Protein backbone atom coordinates (compact mmCIF):
# COMPACT_ATOMS: atom_id res chain seq x y z
CA UNK A 1 0.00 0.00 0.00
CA UNK A 2 2.58 2.48 1.14
CA UNK A 3 4.87 1.27 -1.60
CA UNK A 4 2.27 1.92 -4.32
CA UNK A 5 1.61 5.31 -2.81
CA UNK A 6 5.29 6.13 -2.95
CA UNK A 7 5.48 4.81 -6.48
CA UNK A 8 2.51 6.91 -7.59
CA UNK A 9 4.00 9.96 -5.94
CA UNK A 10 7.30 9.30 -7.65
CA UNK A 11 5.55 8.93 -10.98
CA UNK A 12 3.56 12.08 -10.43
CA UNK A 13 6.65 14.11 -9.64
CA UNK A 14 8.94 12.71 -12.30
CA UNK A 15 6.52 12.25 -15.21
CA UNK A 16 6.06 15.87 -16.23
CA UNK A 17 9.81 16.42 -16.18
CA UNK A 18 10.73 13.39 -18.27
CA UNK A 19 7.71 12.69 -20.48
CA UNK A 20 7.23 16.33 -21.41
CA UNK A 21 9.53 17.71 -24.04
CA UNK A 22 11.16 21.11 -23.82
CA UNK A 23 7.86 22.49 -25.13
CA UNK A 24 6.08 21.71 -21.84
CA UNK A 25 8.42 23.95 -19.89
CA UNK A 26 8.45 26.36 -22.81
CA UNK A 27 4.67 26.67 -22.87
CA UNK A 28 4.44 27.29 -19.12
CA UNK A 29 7.16 29.93 -19.36
CA UNK A 30 5.49 31.47 -22.40
CA UNK A 31 2.11 31.71 -20.68
CA UNK A 32 3.64 33.16 -17.54
CA UNK A 33 6.06 35.67 -19.07
CA UNK A 34 4.26 36.71 -22.23
CA UNK A 35 0.89 36.62 -20.50
CA UNK A 36 1.82 39.27 -17.94
CA UNK A 37 0.79 42.30 -20.01
CA UNK A 38 -1.68 40.78 -22.46
CA UNK A 39 -3.09 37.45 -23.56
CA UNK A 40 -0.37 34.89 -24.25
CA UNK A 41 -1.46 34.79 -27.88
CA UNK A 42 -1.82 31.38 -29.56
CA UNK A 43 1.51 30.63 -31.28
CA UNK A 44 -0.33 29.24 -34.31
CA UNK A 45 -1.43 32.72 -35.38
CA UNK A 46 2.05 33.91 -36.41
CA UNK A 47 4.81 32.29 -38.50
CA UNK A 48 8.17 31.38 -36.97
CA UNK A 49 9.85 34.40 -38.55
CA UNK A 50 7.46 36.69 -36.68
CA UNK A 51 8.11 35.03 -33.33
CA UNK A 52 11.87 35.18 -33.90
CA UNK A 53 11.67 38.87 -34.72
CA UNK A 54 9.50 39.56 -31.69
CA UNK A 55 11.87 37.67 -29.40
CA UNK A 56 14.85 39.56 -30.83
CA UNK A 57 13.25 42.92 -30.09
CA UNK A 58 11.95 42.53 -26.54
CA UNK A 59 13.93 45.47 -25.16
CA UNK A 60 11.76 47.73 -27.32
CA UNK A 61 8.50 45.84 -27.54
CA UNK A 62 5.72 48.10 -28.85
CA UNK A 63 7.04 50.97 -26.74
CA UNK A 64 7.94 48.95 -23.64
CA UNK A 65 10.85 47.00 -22.24
CA UNK A 66 9.74 43.36 -22.07
CA UNK A 67 13.24 41.87 -21.91
CA UNK A 68 13.87 38.46 -20.33
CA UNK A 69 16.83 36.51 -19.01
CA UNK A 70 18.54 34.85 -22.03
CA UNK A 71 17.74 31.27 -20.94
CA UNK A 72 14.06 32.08 -20.42
CA UNK A 73 13.87 33.85 -23.77
CA UNK A 74 15.51 30.91 -25.54
CA UNK A 75 13.07 28.38 -24.06
CA UNK A 76 10.10 30.54 -25.01
CA UNK A 77 11.41 31.11 -28.52
CA UNK A 78 11.84 27.40 -29.21
CA UNK A 79 8.31 26.73 -27.97
CA UNK A 80 6.87 29.48 -30.17
CA UNK A 81 8.82 28.47 -33.25
CA UNK A 82 7.83 24.80 -32.82
CA UNK A 83 4.13 25.75 -32.66
CA UNK A 84 4.13 28.60 -35.16
CA UNK A 85 1.92 28.87 -38.22
CA UNK A 86 3.34 26.92 -41.14
CA UNK A 87 0.70 27.66 -43.76
CA UNK A 88 1.15 30.84 -45.75
CA UNK A 89 -0.26 34.00 -44.22
CA UNK A 90 -0.66 37.38 -45.86
CA UNK A 91 0.37 40.71 -44.38
CA UNK A 92 1.47 44.12 -45.63
CA UNK A 93 4.97 43.82 -44.16
CA UNK A 94 7.24 40.87 -43.57
CA UNK A 95 7.59 39.53 -41.05
CA UNK A 96 4.37 40.77 -39.46
CA UNK A 97 4.82 41.57 -35.77
CA UNK A 98 1.14 41.65 -34.91
CA UNK A 99 -1.70 39.18 -35.32
CA UNK A 100 -3.94 42.21 -35.67
CA UNK A 101 -2.14 43.32 -38.82
CA UNK A 102 -2.68 40.06 -40.70
CA UNK A 103 -5.04 40.35 -43.66
CA UNK A 104 -7.49 37.70 -42.45
CA UNK A 105 -7.63 39.40 -39.07
CA UNK A 106 -8.45 42.76 -40.59
CA UNK A 107 -11.13 41.27 -42.83
CA UNK A 108 -12.65 39.28 -40.00
CA UNK A 109 -12.71 42.23 -37.61
CA UNK A 110 -13.18 45.41 -39.58
CA UNK A 111 -16.61 44.36 -40.81
CA UNK A 112 -17.84 42.52 -37.73
CA UNK A 113 -16.86 44.74 -34.82
CA UNK A 114 -18.94 47.71 -33.69
CA UNK A 115 -17.11 50.95 -32.81
CA UNK A 116 -18.55 50.63 -29.31
CA UNK A 117 -17.06 47.17 -28.76
CA UNK A 118 -13.71 48.43 -30.02
CA UNK A 119 -13.74 51.46 -27.71
CA UNK A 120 -14.41 49.16 -24.76
CA UNK A 121 -11.50 46.89 -25.72
CA UNK A 122 -9.23 49.89 -26.35
CA UNK A 123 -6.95 47.97 -28.71
CA UNK A 124 -7.04 44.91 -30.97
CA UNK A 125 -4.35 43.39 -28.77
CA UNK A 126 -6.97 43.03 -26.02
CA UNK A 127 -8.50 39.86 -27.52
CA UNK A 128 -10.10 38.85 -24.20
CA UNK A 129 -12.31 41.95 -24.11
CA UNK A 130 -14.38 40.48 -26.97
CA UNK A 131 -13.54 36.76 -26.94
CA UNK A 132 -14.63 35.28 -23.61
CA UNK A 133 -12.58 32.11 -24.12
CA UNK A 134 -9.43 33.81 -25.39
CA UNK A 135 -7.38 32.47 -22.46
CA UNK A 136 -8.22 28.98 -23.71
CA UNK A 137 -7.24 30.03 -27.24
CA UNK A 138 -10.81 29.77 -28.54
CA UNK A 139 -12.12 32.61 -30.64
CA UNK A 140 -15.28 31.24 -32.27
CA UNK A 141 -17.50 31.65 -29.21
CA UNK A 142 -19.43 34.78 -30.13
Partner 1 sequence: MLRGACRMLVLPAVLIAGTAAAAGPGPDQRALLEHYRRLAGVESFSPERGRTFFLAKHQGGKPETPSCTTCHTDDPRGPGRTRAGKPIEPMALSVNPRRYTDPKKVEKWFRRNCRSVLGRECTPREKGDFLAFMFSQ
Task: Give 10 or 104: the residue with its C-beta nearer to ligand HEC.
Answer: 104
Among 9, 11, 15, 22, binds partner 1 (CB under 8 A): 9
Shortest Å, Cβ 10 to partner 1: 7
Between residues 21 and 128, which has the closer beta carbon with respect to partner 1? 128
Answer whether the bond into residue 95 is a cis peptide, omega within 30°.
yes
How far apart (Å, rounded) are the C-alpha atoms in residues 7 and 15? 12
Give least dist CB 21 to partner 1, A: 25
Angle at 32 between CA 76 and CA 22, to 5 degrees: 35
Instruction: Return d(Cα 134, Cα 121) in angstroms, integer.
Output: 13
Q: Which stretch binds ligand HEC (CB under 6 A): 9-17, 20-28, 29-37, 85-93?
A: 29-37
Identify whether the C-beta of residue 125 lies closer than 8 Å to the C-beta of residue 100. Answer: yes
Using CB distances below 5 to 8 A depending on partner kind, what does residue 32 bind out of ligand HEC, partner 1, none? none
Amino acid sequence: MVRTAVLLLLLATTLPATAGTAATGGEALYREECGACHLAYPPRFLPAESWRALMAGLADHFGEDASLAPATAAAIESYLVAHARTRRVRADRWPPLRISELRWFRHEHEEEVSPRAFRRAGTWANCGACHRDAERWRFDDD
